[in-house]
Homo-oligomer: A and B are copies of this chain.
């Protein structure tokens, strides 16, 4: 099968496949006489695996490690489980951060009395002040949160 067919089979964009190849997640394939990449069912499996991992928000680095463990088929699965456990922790931390953020934003929003002028509004002045509440200060503290906004490429395309 050619790259376009693989793309359809895995719900993945053609460019993304080539990108994964460059990054070493997919092996370099055989080529046709005319230099087209040729894939087999094993490639569908491997790419599906990668995409599922990405959907679980693992980094390409983590996925790389998983693929190596998978390829090596070691005796026990503890290294895989450790990786997954770590990832679960990442996600849990992000959720806590975002919850704290959400709380702060709601507080901020509530500081607007109604439809008065900006000067009376409280939201802008709230933004001018440090508005970290006592609530979750220890978590959010001084760091930036990041990651609320989705990268939109896939959505536009799909």
**A residues adjacent to B (C-beta < 8 A):** 11, 45, 48-49, 52-57, 59, 66, 69-70, 73-78, 80-81, 84-85, 87-88, 90-92, 94-95, 98-99, 101-102, 104-106, 108-109, 112, 115-121, 123-124, 127-132, 140, 142-151, 154-155, 158
Contacts and interface: CB of A to CB of B under 8 A. Distances in A.
Contacts of A108: 56, 84
Given A94-B148, A128-B45, A143-B155, A123 B80 contact: yes
Given A56-B105, A143-B154, 11 more contacts: A45-B128, A48-B130, A52-B131, A77-B121, A77-B124, A81-B112, A81-B121, A85-B109, A88-B102, A90-B148, A94-B147
A105 B91 contact: yes
Instruction: Count the copies.
Output: 2
B132 A55 contact: yes
Given A124-B80, A158-B142, A118 B69 contact: yes
A113 to B, nearest CB: 9
B104 A99 contact: no
Given A57-B101, A91-B98, A147-B147, A73 B119 contact: yes
A123 B87 CA distance: 13
